[in-house]
């Protein structure tokens, strides 16, 4: 096995730990840098940012999120370097020596079956070449992946073993409002509120359904889910489907109808919307009147206006206690953020504070 410089490895891989660590609210540093003066009147950077947030909260949120993502990625790498350094010091070796000892223990040799499977999966990229020709490259690629995964695993183990890690970098949050007309699952007292902007014709929104159900099963009354509409202009049936959903909500059967619509996502024409109402156990006549008269069109239009103001440009978009996540993110991503928010809430309660409702 060729010798590896594990310090370079450490800088190469994004070391995103799944560990829930102690999270505290970051204290504002009161950034009052003067960025302009007008006839002797000062304008500070914090005033500019505040006005930016008032005029265009969506773009301000996206900028803050991009800064936060860059900072957390770098912070994770710096924490990884430090825990490896401390572990190496405790063993009386250098960080490189520690990694050269620990990483190979966590890496299994690549088998011929795995190489053949990777060759088949990469058929588009390997077209015109034989397995024999690309075997060395595939083996190296798979081995590199395993070394990366082993490095992740080692860092996670070291972070979990440490009881002295505290992170006070709080993520950006946006105050996302809801109304009494929004369908809700979960109690108002839940410490974590997820606001989802969704489109019934969006395949990624459908893909997110089992993830959300798994989240609700795992966290129960600690999580509250709020549905808001964001029908995209390139989905012609999304707007009437959103209105139909609100008509179902008016009869207390939004979630039943919600599931039927996603189960029949390829057929959301207006006549079908009425058929699905019967299937979901709604009063057909009341539903038809509601849909035909556009009783909740303004509600859906207001959802769209709010979505644009919050910077929602695609669906699904989630706000978890005001923290934005875009797309059909995997369960592990949602779970990590929720656990961080629960830890934050517990920390606030322990200090006698109350988390702001989102």
- The CA distance from 357 to 177, in Å, is 10
Model confidence at 199: pLDDT above 60? yes
- The CA distance from 29 to 44, in Å, is 14
User: Helices 131-161 and 57-91 sit at what angle, rounded to 10 degrees?
Assistant: 80
Q: What is the pLDDT of residue 25?
A: 33
Q: What is the pLDDT of residue 354?
A: 59
- Domain range annotation of the chain: 6-167, 184-350
Do 237 and 266 form a contact (C-beta atoms < 8 A)? no
Chain centroid, CA 68 distance in Å = 13
Q: pLDDT by residue (tens digit) across 206-226?
A: 999 999 999 999 999 999 999
Q: pLDDT by residue (tens digit) across 95-114?
A: 999 999 999 999 989 999 99
Q: What is the pLDDT of residue 261?
A: 97
Q: Give how far Cα 357 sits from Cα of 132, 173, 180, 280, 354, Å.
A: 60, 11, 15, 32, 9
Model confidence at 91: pLDDT above 60? yes
Average pLDDT value for the chain: 88
Q: What is the pLDDT of residue 21?
A: 35
Q: pLDDT by residue (tens digit) across 169-194?
A: 889 998 898 888 899 999 999 999 99
Least confident of 24-28, 322-326, 354-358: 24-28
Q: What is the pLDDT of residue 4?
A: 55
Taking the model in full, what pTM does it have?
Answer: 0.72
Q: pLDDT band at residue 7, thresholds of 50, 70 and 90? A: low
Tell how strand 41-44 and strand 22-23 pair up.
Answer: unpaired
At the top level of CATH, which class does the domain 184-350 belong to? alpha beta
Q: pLDDT by residue (tens digit) across 119-166?
A: 888 887 777 788 899 899 999 999 999 999 999 999 999 998 888 888
Q: pLDDT band at residue 24, thresholds of 50, 70 and 90? A: very low
Tokens matching residue 161 = 């073993």
- The CA distance from 307 to 58, in Å, is 9
Start-end of H helices in the chain: 6-12, 45-55, 57-91, 95-102, 112-121, 131-161, 203-219, 238-250, 254-263, 270-279, 284-292, 297-309, 331-350
Q: pLDDT by residue (tens digit) across 300-354?
A: 999 999 999 898 989 999 999 999 999 999 999 999 999 999 998 988 888 776 5
- Residue with the bigger pLDDT between 62 and 3: it is 62
Q: Which residues pair with 41 in a beta bridge?
A: 38
The count of other CB atoms within 10 Å of the CB of residue 333 is: 15
């Amino acid at each position: 096995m060729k010798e590896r410089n594990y310090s370079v490895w450490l800088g190469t891989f994004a070391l995103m730990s799944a560990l829930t660590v102690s999270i505290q609210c970051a204290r504002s540093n009161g950034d009052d840098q003067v960025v302009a003066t007008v006839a002797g009147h000062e304008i500070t950077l914090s005033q500019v940012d505040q006005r930016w947030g008032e005029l265009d909260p969506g773009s301000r949120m996206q900028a803050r999120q991009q800064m936060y993502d860059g900072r957390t990625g770098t912070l994770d790498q710096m924490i990884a370097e430090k825990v490896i350094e401390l572990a190496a010091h405790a063993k009386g070796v250098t960080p490189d020596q520690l990694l050269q000892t620990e990483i190979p223990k966590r890496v299994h040799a690549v088998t011929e079956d795995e190489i053949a499977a990777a060759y088949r999966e990469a058929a588009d990229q390997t077209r015109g070449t034989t397995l024999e020709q690309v075997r060395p490259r595939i083996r190296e690629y798979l081995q590199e992946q395993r070394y990366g995964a082993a490095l992740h695993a080692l860092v996670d183990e070291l972070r979990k073993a440490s009881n002295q890690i505290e992170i006070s970098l709080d993520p950006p949050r946006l105050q996302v409002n809801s109304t009494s007309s929004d369908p809700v699952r979960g109690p108002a007292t839940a410490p974590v509120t997820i606001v989802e902007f969704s489109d019934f014709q969006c395949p990624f929104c459908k893909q997110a359904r089992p993830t959300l159900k798994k989240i609700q099963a795992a966290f129960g009354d600690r999580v509250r889910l709020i549905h808001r509409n964001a029908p995209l202009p390139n989905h012609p049936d999304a707007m009437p489907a959103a209105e139909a959903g609100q008509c179902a909500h008016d009869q207390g059967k939004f979630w039943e109808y919600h599931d039927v619509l996603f189960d029949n996502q390829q057929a959301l024409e207006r006549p079908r919307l009425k058929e699905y109402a019967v299937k979901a156990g709604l009063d057909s006549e009341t539903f038809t009147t509601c849909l035909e008269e556009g009783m909740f069109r303004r509600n859906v239009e207001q959802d769209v206006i709010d979505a644009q103001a919050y910077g929602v440009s695609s669906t699904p978009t989630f706000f978890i206690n005001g923290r934005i996540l875009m797309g059909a993110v995997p369960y592990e991503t949602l779970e990590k953020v929720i656990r961080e928010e629960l830890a934050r809430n517990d920390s606030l309660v322990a200090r006698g504070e109350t988390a702001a409702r989102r």
